[in-house]
Amino acid sequence: MSQTKFTEANTEALFDDLERDARFRSFWDPEGSLHWGYFENLANARPEDFTPACKRWDEYMLAQSGITAESRVLEVACGNGKAAVWLAQQTGCEVVGIDLSSSYIDNARKLASNSPSLRVSFHKESATNLPFENDSFTHAWSQGALYHIPELKKALTEAYRVLRPGGIFLFDDLVSPVKEVSETTRQHVYDRLLFEPKFNAEAYADQLTQIGFTVLQAKDLSEHLEKSYQLVSELARAEYPDMSAAFEKTRQAIAAGELGWGFYLSQKPA
């Protein structure tokens, strides 16, 4: 199976698509967050449980982070800015968000303008070439986005560089449990997401360790990812049957062990 090579320009164009953003907002999250859910009861979760499950995941990550009012947080691939604003509201911390998409950065700035007292700022930048000095942040945070970065190892190394000694890097991301996926999964999942198979769960942790991080927690969330795609497929079905079908293909790929979701809490040594 040949691999498709995606670039940052491909990613930028995907997320600058205003029509696509509007479609996702209509059934996923009106404020433009495209995170996945962390469910209390996987077996009995229904479509109306999806948004609370997404909020539950935000709260889990925040509880693990140690972010306080004194923290300076870099959000990598901040999207429409919802998480950055929420973090600042919850803790009083400073948040600096970066993203490749001009549309996302514009949306994030508009969202932040509704809360001018918050210490949040947004910048159109690449995660592989951060415009910040060494040791600039106490935390780096990302949700469901790093898999879009073609040069992922470089982005992880940049996160390490800009963190202060003792700083925390926490994120969730898609993982590739197998090196070779079926052509159906390649076409309907990986190519649709502009995602090339990179790390399985263990290799992701190993890569962080090789860069210099100490991995404090690694969590397999693949069952929650499968449930998330089952529910968003149902939520999209009436208005966007094409997207609903794509989400069902994604659920099937997860069930087949060709796609997964992992969480990593890591620390730069003091």
- Domain coordinates in residue numbering, the chain: 8-267
Angle, vertex CA 99, rays to CA 161 and CA 36, nearest 5: 100
pLDDT greater than 80 at residue 1: no
pLDDT tens, residue by residue, 178-214: 989 999 999 999 999 999 888 999 999 999 999 999 9
Q: What is the pLDDT of residue 179?
A: 87
pLDDT at residue 2 greater than cutoff 70: no
Q: Is pLDDT above 90 for 247?
A: yes
Q: What is the pLDDT of residue 262?
A: 98
Asked if the model's pLDDT at residue 3 lies above 80, the reply is no
Helix pair angle (82-91, 50-65), 10° resolution: 50
Share of the chain above pLDDT 70, in %: 99
Which pLDDT does position 33 carry in this prediction?
Answer: 83
Split at pLDDT 50, 70, 90, the class of 139 is: very high
State pLDDT tens for residues 90-125: 999 999 999 999 999 999 999 999 999 999 999 999
pLDDT in tens, 39-98: 999 999 999 999 999 999 999 999 999 999 999 999 999 999 999 999 999 999 999 999
Length of the chain, in residues: 270
Give the CATH number of domain 8-267; options: 3.30.413.10, 3.30.450.90, 3.30.70.20, 3.40.50.150.
3.40.50.150
What mean pLDDT, rounded, does the chain reach? 95
